[in-house]
């Protein structure tokens, strides 16, 4: 089975450099809508076994644009396990205004040391990747790992980036480190995550071992 991951389109909070996690949402901006439509056009002839989206509006809107362009017109199923990292009270705030500011960089650089109770609350990295990887295992089981049609997951930057890394054996302490596959450093943006509207693809034959076949593909974006 192949699993296609699409990150939602660019949003207003992305432009304002705000924490946009599991408790925050903001609308897609024009470039985010264009990117979602471009992703849909790129995948228009792909017949998916199922399409799952985060319940957050920015991801769901992106999924709707993708499905609207698809010749098979699949239905979108919502799964709360695909919700973005929970930043607690930091959600919706600009990176420069969260308190304590001295702790802000820890979330971007030291995932094993990050303790949400010392920041805005919410999730630890271990809790986050346990949630997202278990969600993905469950969705694969629901569809059937022997399916010849890919599974589409429309979600978020951290959901895609950290879930893929974790499934490929990257420990929590290294989730924010450069992602190296076969000696090559994988391209990322911002604080080390995949681009808006990008495509990342994993493959698996047993829902236990995963191979990266596409990472952060953006060639179809204008």
Q: Residue 104 sits in a domain of what CATH number?
A: 3.40.50.1240
The phi and psi torsions of 4 (rounded to 5 degrees) equal: -95, 125
Number of compact structural domains in the chain: 1
Contact by Cβ (8 Å): 45, 133: no
Q: If pLDDT is split at 50, 70 and 90, which confidence band does 222 have?
A: confident
Give a yes or no: residue 112 inside a domain.
yes
Could you tell me the residue range of the domain that residue 141 belongs to?
Answer: 2-217
What CA–CA distance (Å, rounded) separates 199 from 6? 5
What CA–CA distance (Å, rounded) separates 52 from 221? 22
What CA–CA distance (Å, rounded) separates 24 from 43? 28
Give a yes or no: residue 128 inside a domain.
yes
Q: How confident is the model over 80-93, as pLDDT tens digits?
A: 999 999 999 999 99
Contact by Cβ (8 Å): 86, 21: yes
What CA–CA distance (Å, rounded) separates 222 from 214? 19
Give a yes or no: residue 194 inside a domain.
yes
Give a yes or no: residue 222 inside a domain.
no
155 Cβ contact partners less than 8 Å away, ≥ 6 residues apart = 5, 6, 7, 8, 53, 54, 59, 82, 84
Q: How confident is the model over 50-97, as pLDDT tens digits?
A: 999 999 999 999 999 999 999 999 999 999 999 999 999 999 999 999
């Amino acid at each position: 089975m192949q699993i296609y991951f699409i990150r939602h389109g660019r949003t207003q909070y992305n432009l304002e450099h705000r924490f946009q996690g599991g408790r925050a949402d903001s609308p897609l901006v024009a470039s985010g809508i264009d990117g979602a439509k471009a992703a849909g056009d790129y995948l228009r002839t792909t017949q998916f076994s199922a399409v799952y989206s985060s319940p957050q509006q920015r991801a769901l809107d992106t999924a709707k644009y993708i499905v609207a362009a698809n010749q098979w017109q699949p239905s979108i199923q919502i799964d709360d396990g695909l919700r973005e990292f929970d930043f607690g009270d930091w959600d919706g705030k600009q990176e420069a205004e969260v308190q304590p500011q001295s702790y802000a960089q820890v979330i971007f650089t030291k995932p094993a040391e990050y303790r949400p109770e010392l920041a805005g609350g919410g999730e630890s990295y271990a809790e986050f990747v346990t949630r997202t990887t278990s969600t993905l295992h469950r969705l694969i089981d629901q569809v059937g790992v022997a399916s010849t049609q890919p599974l589409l997951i429309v979600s978020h930057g951290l959901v895609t980036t950290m879930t893929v890394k974790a499934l490929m054996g990257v420990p929590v302490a290294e989730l924010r480190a450069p992602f190296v596959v076969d000696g090559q450093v994988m391209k990322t943006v911002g604080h080390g995550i995949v681009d808006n509207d990008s495509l990342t693809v994993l493959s698996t034959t047993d829902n236990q071992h995963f191979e990266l076949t596409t990472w952060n593909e953006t060639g179809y974006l204008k």
